[in-house]
Amino acid sequence: MGMTIILGQKIGEKKADEGGEIIGSGLLMFLSIGIVLTLVLPLFATQLATTMHAPTEAFDLTVHYIRICGGGAVIIIAYNLIGGVFRGIHVFCFVSWDSSTEWDTHHLLWHRE
């Protein structure tokens, strides 16, 4: 996700507020996509399996699989989004760490004393 890179840049620039806006925008966008997919995929699982040319002997299982995965799309997307946020924070932490660095959880920034 591009959000990971932009988030890491904003944290590196010590712009916590902008980093928070990026996280909020990402949550809103991907939550919206997840809700739509969670509603649409189970409803159109048969048509999607037909479009994918699922073999006749596996067609029913394919439809069930699409419904199960589609029903949990919002969970899958949320998991990946949270992972992206932590990767964005981790990249900065890894690059910026030294013995005089202290974590400020309120601002999501690294401060040097």
SS3 state of residue 90: helix
User: How much is the pLDDT for 93?
Assistant: 53
Kind of pairing, strands 101-104 and 109-112? antiparallel
User: How much is the pLDDT for 42?
Assistant: 95
Residues 27 and 20: their CA atoms lie apart, in Å, by 11
Residues 81 and 75: their CA atoms lie apart, in Å, by 10
> What residues does each domain of the chain span?
2-112
Mean pLDDT in runs of 10 for the chain (113 residues)?
Answer: 78 82 87 92 96 96 95 89 79 50 48 44
User: How much is the pLDDT for 58?
Assistant: 96
